[in-house]
Amino acid sequence: MTANEILKKYFGYDNFRTGQAEIINHILEREDCLGIMPTGAGKSICYQIPAMIFDGVTIVISPLISLMKDQVDSLNQVGIPATYINSSLAENEYLQTIQNIYHGMYKIIYVAPERFFSDTFIGMLNFLNVSMVAIDEAHCVSQWGHDFRPSYCEISKVISSLNKRPIIVSFTATATQVVKDDIIKLLDLRNPFVLTTGFDRENLYFSVQTPESKKEFLLNFLEEHKNMSGIIYCSTRKTVDEVYERLCNYGYKVSKYHAGMSEKNRSFSQDDFVYDRTEIMVATNAFGMGIDKSNVRYVIHYNMPSDLESYYQEAGRSGRDGDKAECVLLFSRADIVTNKFLIEHSSENNHTNEYQKLNDIVDYCNTSKCLRSYILEYFGETPNFNNCKFCSNCDSEIEITDITTDSKKILSCIKRMNERFGAGLVADVLKGSKSTKVKSFGFDSLSTYGIMSEYSKDTIRDLISFLVAEGYIKSIGDKYPILTLDVKANNVLFSDTQVVIKKKIERILRPEKNSKDDFESLPFDDKLFEILRELRIEVAKENNVPPFIIFADVSLKQMSTYYPIDMDSMLKISGVGSFKLEKYGDVFIETIRNYVQEHDITKVPVLEKTSINSEVTPKVDTKQVSYELYTKDGKSIKEISEIRGLTERTIEGHLLDCYENGMDIDLVKEVNTKFENDIYNAINMCSSGRLREIKDMLPEEVSYFDIKYYLIKIDRKIDN
């Protein structure tokens, strides 16, 4: 079967999402790969589909036990034989699983890093035909990542000890350049194809709120989001317990999860949430959910996390089904104090790095810029918009206040204090504090002493934080940072540049329907949707799996929009493959048919194609575009790549296909002809014909493009 056929049959999608087809193609060429794709982008399909095509088995290393179970449940539900090995297995289950593996019963085996290193498992790997090793949460290998795990550093040693080296593919949702470099080096990826699809999650609405009462805000928010699944993250166990008790008292169906609970209770709590027995999970920030629960409609950070990587990954656990979801961060100055305390009492030695990450997320909370663009810029992207119209800074009523005069006072005070002190003391001087420290430095004699006495100290510090976030002030140092003036400060002090602060008019309602039309929920039949949700719960109980594994919310919404009453129309629904159709189709079709008859529904919209996963795998038309740019317009591969927004390897593939199909195209100028004889010799010597083995025989300068060109050239000579 082809990748497209597997995608439709097992996963129920007609087309790949952005980046999936490209990375799958490179894996099928037996190349090592690194995929940096945001949560919900479909990373797992990138290795699951090649696993079904390759001979032998694929090993998936994952640090998240609950994720393994969800992934294996999902795969088994669509007819892909998979299993997992981790500490959750009882001894008899473990022995049975090992026996099944030796008998070749699985295509995909998930394993925890600790089990991967065991002598027993390594011995088994050498017995098996391991075609590929996929490493999930690959950022864990880097000390510069937000979730460093020393065990990940041993993975490459184990792989190098195997009798035969498999393809190595790795995936992560967030990675700065230094983390990306670490992944390639520490996992020993060889000439990997690296794909970053972009970090933007367009279906997520980002919001930073500074409510006077977080308790009231939360209750109001939940009132407006009834019957929706959501996660509330808190920074401490104590806060988790307090929020959990409060929500229970208000009658919400809620679970909690933190390290102070027994493993058994944590497991029960998580299962209740995953299986939709509860709607809300309250958890510590450090809790890696590690679940594929696709119908999480909001993530609230009750406290600010310690860094943007953690925040974006945790927030990204909402909206995994591609439907709209909300990510709300409730910010207060007390959160900064809590995070500094946690940094100082952490086992991490690199406090400088941790403090810098904390400063970055504090700036995020204080900025008046587009929140989405701030995040993208942090991860090294250049967004093509200034106003996304889908975050609280872009999609709220704004009060604009001119703070130029106050800014001059603050900047002038920092300058007069010789740029050697922190925000606390600067605020004291501006406030006119009579503290011993202020007097001991003689700051009570400065012209800026007391010139902002009408403000509270907290207000002054908020203004300072804003000026830091906007680049007028630098905050230098770790535990006790000092303030210095940035270049932009001179424009305010000496050129009368205006400084304005945009204050959001806070709201707790969901984004307006016209905020992001592309991701507005389908105009589905609410009554039918609820009926199908109940049916999904019943079917899930019968199969002992979470409801979202049966069908995602998006699938049920499409069913409630297009009323599929036969197998052909049901197969057009996103997420309905032939395996699931055969297994569950009858009961869902019957329910929809009965509903249509009872409500006398005669006219229904026609579903031409699925509404998600709309990125189409490259076909002849897209190759034709590359062909014409190359042959008629004389563009180079690099130029075509830039024009079309595709990688150079993709363009190379287009042109090679054209050459292979006998089209009139001269690729000699793109080929490294210096090693022509060496390439022919390597091709003749390699009995398997595999690109990787041919590549290993040749100098570093020879590319896969060069090898493929000469392979095609040989075939064309034979055909002629």
Angle (nearest 5°) at CA 389 between 386 and 393: 75
The residue among 189 and 177 whose pLDDT is bigger is 189
| Strand pairing category for 204-209 and 296-301 | unpaired
Distance CA 554, CA 277 (A): 20
Q: Could you report the per-residue pLDDT of 466-486, keeping only the tens digit for each?
A: 888 788 998 887 777 899 998
Q: Could you report the per-residue pLDDT of 322-381, keeping only the tens digit for each?
A: 888 999 999 887 787 777 777 777 766 667 778 888 888 988 988 888 999 999 888 888
Q: What is the pLDDT of residue 514?
A: 41
Query: Cα–chain-centroid distance for residue 452?
Result: 44
Which residue(s) pair with 330 in the sheet?
209
Query: Could you tell me the domains of the chain?
Result: 3-196 (3.40.50.300), 204-390 (3.40.50.300), 399-500 (1.10.10.10), 521-598 (1.10.150.80), 620-719 (1.10.10)
Question: Is residue 658 scored above 90 in pLDDT?
Answer: no
Question: Is residue 211 scored above 90 in pLDDT?
Answer: no
For 221, how many CA atoms within 13 A lie in the half-sphere containing its CB?
A: 30
Range from 133-142, 500-509, 582-591 carrying the lowest mean pLDDT: 500-509
Q: What is the pLDDT of residue 295?
A: 87
Q: What is the pLDDT of residue 516?
A: 46
Q: What is the pLDDT of residue 647?
A: 57
Of residues 320, 211, 367, 348, the one with CA closest to residue 552 = 320
Angle (nearest 5°) at CA 447 between 443 and 448: 75
Percent of the chain with pLDDT over 70: 90
Distance CA 599, CA 606 (A): 19
DSSP secondary structure, 50-112, as one string: HHHHSSSEEEEE-S-HHHHHHHHHHHHHTT--EEEESTTS-HHHHHHHHHHHHTT--SEEEE-
Distance CA 157, CA 600 (A): 65
Return phi, psi of residue 519, to 5°.
-120, 15
Burial state string for 556-583 with b = 16 or more CB within 10 A and e = fewer than 16: bbbbbbbbbbeeebbbbbbbbbbbbbeb
Neighbour-count burial of 717, counting CB atoms closer than 10 A to its CB (0-12 exposed, 13-18 middle, 19+ buried): exposed
Question: Is residue 175 scored above 80 in pLDDT?
Answer: no
Which residue(s) pair with 284 in the sheet?
234
Helices within 417-486 (DSSP H only): 423-431, 436-440, 457-469
Distance CA 320, CA 474 (A): 37
DSSP secondary structure, 683-712, as one string: HHH-SS--HHHHHHTS-TT--HHHHHHHHH
Range from 72-86, 441-455, 604-618 carrying the lowest mean pLDDT: 604-618
Burial state string for 622-640 with b = 16 or more CB within 10 A and e = fewer than 16: ebebbbebbeeeebebeeb
Distance CA 180, CA 138 (A): 9
Give residue 231's pLDDT band: very low, low, confident or very high (50, 70, 90): very high
Question: Is residue 240 scored above 90 in pLDDT?
Answer: yes
Q: What is the pLDDT of residue 249?
A: 95
Give residue 223's pLDDT band: very low, low, confident or very high (50, 70, 90): very high
Can you say whether the dihedral through the CA atoms of 620, 621, 626, 631 is positive or negative? positive
Question: Residue 557: helix, strand or coil by DSSP?
Answer: helix
Distance CA 119, CA 521 (A): 50
Q: What is the pLDDT of residue 502?
A: 64
What residue type is 546 in one-letter code? Answer: P
CB 112 within 8 A of CB 89: no
- Across all residues in the chain, what is the average pLDDT? 85
CA distances from residue 703 to 29, 165, 441, 636, 671 in whole angstroms, order as listed: 13, 20, 66, 17, 9
Question: Is residue 517 scored above 50 in pLDDT?
Answer: no
Average pLDDT of the segment spanning 637-649: 73
The residue among 689 and 714 whose pLDDT is bigger is 714
Distance CA 596, CA 128 (A): 52
Q: Could you report the per-residue pLDDT of 99-147, keeping only the tens digit for each?
A: 999 999 999 999 988 888 888 888 898 899 999 999 988 888 887 655 6
Which residue(s) pair with 298 in the sheet?
230, 326
Full-prediction pTM beyond 0.75? no
389 Cβ contact list (under 8 Å, min separation 6): 395, 515, 516
